[in-house]
Structure 1
Amino acid sequence: MIRGLALAMIFINHVPGNHYEVLTSKNFGFSDAAEAFVLLAGVSAALAYAKHFEAKRWWAGIAGPWHRAWVLYMVHIVISVTVLGLVAAMLRFGEVPELISRDNFNRFVEDPVGVLIGLPLLLHQFGYVNILPLYILLMLVAPLLIWAGQRRPGWLLIGSLAVWAAAGITWQNLPNYPNQGGWFLNPFSWQLIFVLGVLTGLALRGKRRFVPVRRGLILAAAVYASLAFLVKQVPLVDQGFYVVMKTLREAGVPYLLVDFNKGYLQLPRLLHVLSLAYLISVSTHVRAFSASRWAWPLVVMGRQALPVFAVGTVLSFAARAALHYFDPTLTIVEDVVILGGLLALVLLAWVKELSRAALGAPRPPIVTEEPGQVAVPRSRPAQI
């Protein structure tokens, strides 16, 4: 269910300016659905492939994630070319130049040869189409992370923290081409949340928790999540929090610890998504709702995550085009575009489920949860 909720929020947030954005997680704290997306990706990777390393089927443990990376790469290229065509069509036939003037699409007009070089190398990424390149790299190193997590989880976590800290302090990143600068989602930083997901998934395979249930941890997570909510919702609290963070930066505290840069997954964002994840994992109410019929649309979207994400990305650009073409002040237009898009994604996931059943393919798992645990699959975990 949580994966489906993250996909729904990603679709809404990828249509900037719509009035449904106020319902998404980015308005209630420092992180957004992207962090949850990558954390769950790590959990799924461990649940799907750790069994091969346990059985010493080394090549299966390596080939599985690498094959997934290849599938993700092909999907990313198809999405990128499709949205580029959509944006270009709106420029030529719809007389809507706004879409191609932002989100790195303008670079294709200025330097098409450079973009055609950078795009297949993952060095040029269009705005809102930049999470799969990160995920591709993470899946390429997933075999090593899973293997290390099974043998030396503490050392893996320390190493991951060291890479995250080094990237955040020295501002190291992978390059762009033909643009200057680095990736929007820095893999050296975001690998930490993926590793935390891997370690969580490995713990679940052992029928235990990676982070134990402790009253003090629950209180700390709740306090931090509440503070983040107040900062986002109460201007006076926001101003006071900004003054505190600015004072700390001026005192020499590294930006990594006191800023909110998404690309480098700086500490306030990281702590927020981890606090939410921990609170959700110990909540009986979330487990009860996940098992109810009301959660079915989110559950089925989560099971078919890759097609839902791919089509949702394309639909989000179509929705942006529609909002530019029609009168964006008409609330009914936003309602039709956003709610219609979400309904289309649910129907897509449902059709994929029916097709899988008709072909006799193994069904993605129904996620169950036991007291004190999170999301224990009954069978092979669904993946994006």
Structure 2
Amino acid sequence: MSQPDIAPPMRRPRDTKIDAFRGLLLVMIFIDHVPGNWYENLTLRNLGFSDAAESFFLMSGIAAGLAYTAGLTRARDVGLWAGIAPIWKRAWVLYLSHIFLTVAGIAIFAFSAEFFGLTGLLAKNNLRQVFENTGPAIIGIVTLGHQIGYVNILPAYSVLLLAAPFAILVGRRRPYILLTVSVLLWFFIGLFRLNIPAYPNSGGWFFNPLAWQLIFVIGLLTGMALRDGKRFIPKSRVLFVVAVGWLVFVLAWRYVPGWGATLNHGMAKLSSLGLPFHFTSHDKAFLPLLRLLHVLALAYVMSYLPFVTRISAHPYAEPLRVMGRQGLLVFSAGALMSLAGQAALVYFKGVTIVPWLLVPIGVLALWGLAWIGDWKRRT
């Protein structure tokens, strides 16, 4: 997502690959958030266990590492607070954006129920508490304990940004200590199934930041290395072959008849023998190992191939780069359009052309909004 300037001595040129992939991920998130359209078959989740959410957190960590490391590196000269303040300001902006999206999302479904008779929507996407238990639900919304479906990524990202300054300070001096602590935290959070409590519902956050911090930290360390012109994980032909092999294996797991059932049965047996559940399950809240390894392998393969960089810099990829540069705007608009799209699909149920037109029109609208935002930023 787009980051605020930190007033470095010289502005670093943007990485076209990061902008292009972030834009592509935002398009995929929009598509996946309008269930029931054919275009879902083209998104990342069809390639294996992970989907655009894991890649989004990874890219967000990379963007944070690129954007905020310089300010904290110069802490001796400008003061520690000068480096921390922009990060926490961004976290506050994300919190406010989440509250706005939640209220607007509730309004979209309430409007659909009031004027189009789509009362069934009021019980979807974790909205039942809002209309049947309004007081506690409002408290939960403000305190982030109650998050409606499809608008629940920003709270975890906001929390992670609050911790980012300290992670960057450790990562600059001892990157592998930071990674080790992050892995251990992820392991024990999953082992004991710890989560931030939801309210007023039981359970915890859908994106548990105590677990998802691992993929954010990996991205953060990657971004910090990129800022220094390095790679956090060096290029290795052996590692590339292993990553490709894992991606092929996962595809076979999902699509080869009979194989998936056999492997899933094997994972269930390992679970019964005592292997931690986040090693064997697909529970998204705890960033399970299978999803984590899949997104890391995919990211490594994409970062290894030179033609990916060339494609990202191609003029035809500019729409994606524009959307990537205007990440928060595109995500916010996409979230609201996806909720409106869900209502439209219910209203026009059985009208085949609607889901076919809804997604491309929405993507074009996101591109237009991003272009306007980018133009205003330049002027």
TM-score category, normalised to shorter length = over 0.9
Amino acid of the structure 1 residue aligned with 2:354: V
Corresponding residue pairs, total:
357
Amino acid of the structure 2 residue aligned with 1:337: L
Say whether 1:2 aligns with 2:21: yes
Quote the RMSD (CA, aligned, Å): 1.1
Say whether 1:266 aligns with 2:285: no
Is the contact between residue 198 and residue 204 of structure 2 (CA under 8 Å) also seen in structure 1?
Answer: yes
Deviation at 1:110, TM superposition (A): 1.6
Alignment of 1:1-384 (within 5 A): 1-56=20-75, 57=78, 58-327=80-349, 329-358=350-379
Amino acid of the structure 2 residue aligned with 1:199: L
- Quote the Cα distance in structure 1 between the aligned partners of 2:309 and 2:115: 48
C-alpha deviations, 1:178-228, integer Å up to 9, x for none? 111110111110000010011101111221110011111101110111122
- Quote the Cα distance in structure 1 between the aligned partners of 2:250 and 2:140: 37
Could you list the runs of 5+ residues in structure 2 that have no partner in the other structure? 1-19
C-alpha deviations, 1:49-82, integer Å up to 9, x for none? 1111221231121101100011111111110000
- Quote the Cα distance in structure 1 between the aligned partners of 2:255 and 2:354: 27
Amino acid of the structure 1 residue aligned with 2:369: L
| 3-state SS of 2:142 partner | coil
- Quote the Cα distance in structure 2 between the aligned partners of 1:113 and 1:315: 27
Amino acid of the structure 1 residue aligned with 2:30: F
Amino acid of the structure 1 residue aligned with 2:289: L
Amino acid of the structure 1 residue aligned with 2:366: L
Is the contact between residue 28 and residue 233 of structure 1 (CA under 8 Å) also seen in structure 2?
Answer: no
TM-score (norm: length of structure 1): 0.91
TM-score (norm: length of structure 2): 0.92
Relative contact order (alpha carbons < 8 A, sep ≥ 6): 1 or 2 greater?
Answer: 2
- Quote the Cα distance in structure 2 between the aligned partners of 1:204 and 1:288: 17
Amino acid of the structure 1 residue aligned with 2:67: A
Amino acid of the structure 1 residue aligned with 2:130: F
Higher helix share: 2
